[in-house]
């Protein structure tokens, strides 16, 4: 194992307290701190301590991919780390978004579609480390119709009719291409008399995006509150938004995002409609599964990554390279290449073929690896 220095992304929706407090720095921070990136993504790679200064993990892997990743990983995914680990801290809502499947990403990237910056998919798993609010996947369209009818009245009748008929795609398209004044529509809904939970949600979102139809699209999704240790799994095509809280997120290493609102950035409605899965996501929450004393995981149906949370001394036999993030206390973590000590907010990397991972100490560490 080797220590990493991992960069923080300063997106506007980030918290000014979570990452600073977790790493023991002065809080609040000068500006927003949204995501700690752990890995070799070229946009913001972690760095290793080299003889002549910091060395990008992406460059280190590029120089010796088989040594870092193992021959099997290179054969499956190419000479790159196939997953990215993050610590996400949201103080304001993220954009409504979805990610393409692998086939769509390859097709559209090859075609030069500007929505696609690489040829990879981006399934993701987020595990809460504090209470976390999110919107995840479409809920029962009849429930959504009730909400829009109560809040919007006759103005939203065409959307309600689509939902009553189960026509989710038509309802989403109509909201995102609304022909009238969007700010007036959002204001109308925030002044409605519907379910208190729905009303609270639209007012919360409208405070950030007063003329964005994504405020109404949000009412088509499942509102979720995660307790620490619970997770949401977002496969390709599921529309979602993270609203507030902190969590550890692991994903396939990609930047392919199709936005659906709650953002000043461009929304390509046509491409989004091609990517979305217009089906009800009945249960978006994934419960932890204990696989050994003090070791839990959240099974997901992809082989790009797996995530384990360790809270007591343990030995892990994992496939391929690993990334480690300490989120509480202090732990030692080692393999055949070396042993490192991690305090809260610190990170490390281990190569493939280094034998079992040994973890000790009084703390909490998340370990990312390849999936089965």
Q: Could you tell me the CA-to-CA distances from 173 to 18, 105, 161, 181, 261 in Å, in that order?
A: 36, 22, 13, 16, 12
Residue 372: partners with Cβ closer than 8 Å, 6 or more residues away: 303, 306, 319
Residue 10: partners with Cβ closer than 8 Å, 6 or more residues away: 31, 32, 33, 34
CA 50 to chain centre: 31
Q: 341: which DSSP letter?
A: E
Q: Does residue 106 have an active-site annotation?
A: no
| Ramachandran area for residue 78 (φ above 0: left; ψ -120 to 50: alpha; else beta) | left
CA distance 142 to 162: 10
CA distance 258 to 100: 8
Q: Which tokens sit at 116?
A: 């696609």
Any idea which residue has 């000068």 for tokens?
Answer: 30
Largest CA distance in the chain: 69
Any idea which residue has 């038509």 for tokens?
Answer: 170
How deeply is 79 buried, as exposed, middle or buried, from its count of CB atoms within 10 A (0-12, 13-18, 19+)? middle
CA distance 117 to 365: 32
Q: Which of 139, 259, 309, 346 is catalytic?
A: 259
Any idea which residue has 């752990």 for tokens?
Answer: 38
CA distance 185 to 210: 9
Give the active site residues.
259
């Amino acid at each position: 194992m080797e220590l990493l220095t991992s960069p923080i992304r300063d997106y506007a929706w980030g918290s000014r307290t979570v990452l600073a407090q977790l790493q023991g720095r002065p809080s609040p921070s000068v500006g927003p701190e949204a995501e700690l990136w752990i890995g070799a993504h070229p946009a913001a790679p972690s760095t290793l301590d080299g003889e002549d200064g910091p060395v990008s993990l992406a460059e280190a892997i590029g120089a010796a991919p088989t040594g870092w990743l193992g021959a099997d990983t290179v054969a499956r995914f190419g000479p790159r780390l196939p997953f990215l680990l993050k610590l996400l801290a949201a103080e304001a809502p993220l954009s409504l978004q979805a990610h393409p499947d692998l086939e769509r990403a390859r097709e559209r990237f090859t075609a030069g579609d500007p929505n696609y910056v690489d040829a990879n998919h981006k399934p993701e798993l987020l595990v809460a480390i504090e209470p976390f609010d999110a919107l995840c996947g479409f809920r029962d369209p009849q429930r959504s119709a009730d909400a829009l009818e109560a809040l919007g009245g006759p103005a939203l009748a065409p959307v309600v009719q689509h939902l009553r008929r189960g026509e989710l795609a038509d309802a989403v398209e109509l909201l995102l291409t609304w022909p009238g004044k969007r700010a007036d529509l959002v204001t109308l809904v925030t002044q409605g008399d519907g379910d208190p939970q729905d009303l609270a949600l639209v007012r919360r979102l409208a405070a950030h995006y007063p003329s964005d139809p994504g405020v109404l699209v949000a009412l088509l999704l499942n509102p979720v509150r995660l307790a620490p240790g619970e997770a949401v799994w977002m496969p390709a095509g599921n529309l979602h938004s993270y609203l507030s809280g902190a969590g550890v997120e692991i994903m396939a290493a990609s930047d392919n995002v199709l936005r659906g609102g709650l953002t000043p950035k461009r929304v390509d409605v046509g491409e989004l409609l091609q990517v979305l899965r217009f089906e009800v996501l009945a249960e978006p929450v994934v419960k932890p599964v204990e696989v050994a004393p003090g070791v839990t995981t959240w099974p997901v149906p992809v082989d790009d990554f797996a995530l384990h949370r360790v809270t007591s001394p343990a030995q892990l036999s994992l496939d391929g390279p690993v990334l480690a993030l300490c989120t509480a206390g202090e732990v030692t973590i080692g393999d055949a290449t070396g042993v490192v000590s991690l305090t809260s907010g610190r990170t490390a990397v281990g190569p493939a073929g280094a034998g079992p991972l040994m973890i000790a100490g009084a703390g909490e560490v998340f370990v990312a690896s390849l999936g089965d």
